[in-house]
Each structure stands twice: as C-alpha cells, then as structure tokens.
Amino acid sequence: MIEKTPFANIVTYAILFVALTLVLVPFWIVICASTQSVAQVNAVPFSFVPGGEMLKNYAAAWQRADLGLALFNSFVMAGLVTSGKIAVSALSAFAIVYFRSRWGMVFFWLVFMTLMLPLEVRVVPTYNIAADAFQPFRLLIQTLTGIEVGIDWNLLNTYSGLTLPLVATATGTFLFRQFFMTVPDELAEAARMDGSGPWRFFVDILLPLSRTNMLALATILFADTWNQYLWPRLMVTDPSYSTAMTALRALRPSENGLPDWNVTNAGALIIVLPPLIVVAVLQRWFVRGLIATEK
C-alpha cells in the first residue's frame, strides 16, 4: 500500500505533468503546422500559434492522397482483422481450457511461442504463402498422389491478403485462456446439468462474461492494425487497395518540390483521427478490461 502524503502527491502530479507535456507538445505542433501556410510552417523559429489555412490544408491533403478510399480500406482491414483475431483467439482458448486433451498444453505453448515471431521476422515466408496460398496443398497432393494440380490462389491486391495473414494472435489466445481459467468449474457443471452443449456454453455464458476483456482487446487490436504499414506496403500495388498509412507517402513533399509540410501534417491528423475516436468510445471498457474481471 502506498501512503498518501503531501510530498508524495506533489511528486506524483509533477511526474504526470511531465509525461502529459511530453505527449501533448508534439501533438500540438502537428495541429499548429496543419493550420499554417507554407511560409509559416517552414519559418524559423516555429510558431506555436495555429494559422488560418486549416480548411485549405485539410482539403488539399484529402484530395492529394485520396484519403476517402484509403480510410475505407483501413476500416475494412482493421475491422476484419480485429473481428477475426477475437474469434480465433476465443475459440482456441476455449478448446485449450475446456477440452481435456493431453496435447492441450503442447498446442498452447506452440501458439505462445509465436509471440517471439513478429510479422517483421516472418514477412518473407508469409508473403510467399500469400502470393500462392494453395502451394502447400498442391505440394501435399502431389506428394501423396503424384497428381499435379494446376490451381493458384493469389492473395495479392485483395482484402483477403490484407487480413487473413494477420488474423492469428498468440496474445489474444493467452488473454482469453487466462480469463477462462478464472471462470468457476461449477458454472460449467451447472451448464452441463441444464443440458447445454459446448457451443451453447461458449456462446451463452463465456462470451457475455468476457465482454469487457473482448472490448479491451478489440481496442488494442484495432489501433495496432490501423497503424500497420509494412504488410499493406508489401501486399498492395493496386492504388484502389491502399490503406491510410500507405497513402500518407503521397503527402510527403517531393525532393525538389514545395516543402508543404502543412498539408502533410493535415493528412496525418486525418489518418490518426479514427483510432482516437475508437479509443475514446471504448475507453470505459478498455480500462475495465485491463484492471478488473467482471463476472
């Protein structure tokens, strides 16, 4: 227990003030830059006062990077990946905790070990599979039967390619497993005595109980997927599938062009707005999911 004293309160508020300043000052600089003219944003020293060209800069950023389509693609990608990760991790954790099998812990630790293999490490083999997703099955069929199957499944420049390779998550499986292990065994016994099968027990009892954990995980996953740059950059060469993060490249001033960093900052603020709204809407469940278990 931490004893509350006037000195401890002063130190606490001082640390919070410094941390808040470190977070908000860069954000304020971006806001000011996005409202200034080209001359103002490149002036030395930089002015920390907002300018008067806010609408002009935001309209220029929206039009130059085609942000309408890019934001839609990011919403599709983030929504599908978040939904898929929650569904896969909840079902896999349910199978590990409630289905008695001597291989259960083996599968759990195999899944858990993938935490040490982030996307940046396995990006080359993942890209090869996405470029020809049917290749493993084709090799298996050829090995077992000697028959060559001429079927290709190319996921490049598709929503499937943007989302499917990112759906599996060891973190989500671990969080759901830890939560399911806190559910009393008597609840499962009571459900079994009432005639509930495994699927009904999962849908009608476990999912409602894990609502706060699910929403907290959804908040983190949505923001993380929205900020993905490497995978969409590799998978997409068709501009109609560009996401907001990859579209931001179009807002960089060219080497010999006008250094309009005001338009670049305006585009960056537009792109960062959706995940901020999601966090603001779900922040109540996000905090509950992180600090408490609601059963």
| DSSP state letters, the chain | -PPP-HHHHHHHHHHHHHHHHHHHHHHHHHHHHTTS-HHHHT-SSPP-S--S-HHHHHHHHHHHTTHHHHHHHHHHHHHHHHHHHHHHHHHHHHHHHHS--TTHHHHHHHHHHGGGS-TTTSHHHHHHHHHTTTHHHHHHHHHHH-PPP------TTSHHHHHGGG---HHHHHHHHHHHTTS-HHHHHHHHHTT--HHHHIIIIIHHHTHHHHHHHHHHHHHHHHT--HHHHHH--SGGG--HHHHGGGGSPPTTS---HHHHHHHHHHHHHHHHHHHHHHHHHHHHHHH----
Type of residue at 250: A
In angstroms, the CA 16 to CA 10 distance is: 10
Q: Please report which confidence band the pLDDT of residue 295 belongs to, taking 50, 70 and 90 as the band edges.
A: very low
Q: Over range 167-187, report the average pLDDT.
A: 87
**pLDDT tens per residue, range 189-227:** 888 888 888 899 999 989 999 888 888 889 989 999 999
290 has pLDDT over 80? no
pLDDT score of 1: 55
Q: Please report which confidence band the pLDDT of residue 292 belongs to, taking 50, 70 and 90 as the band edges.
A: low
Type of residue at 192: R
Tell the residue number behind the tokens 């934001």, with chain if given.
71
Q: Do 161 and 130 contact (CB within 8 A), yes or no?
A: yes
pLDDT score of 294: 47
Q: Over range 152-165, report the average pLDDT.
A: 87
pLDDT score of 74: 95
Mean pLDDT of the chain: 87
Would you give the distance in Å from CA 57 to the centre of its chain? Answer: 28
**pLDDT tens per residue, range 102-157:** 787 888 888 888 888 888 888 888 888 888 877 777 778 888 887 777 777 788 89
pLDDT score of 75: 95
In angstroms, the CA 188 to CA 173 distance is: 20
Percent of the chain with pLDDT over 70: 97
84 has pLDDT over 90? yes
**pLDDT tens per residue, range 18-66:** 999 999 999 999 999 999 999 998 888 889 999 889 999 999 999 999 9
pLDDT score of 105: 82
Among 48-57, 131-140, 158-167, 179-188, the range scoring the smallest mean pLDDT is: 131-140
pTM of the shown model: 0.84
pLDDT score of 289: 67
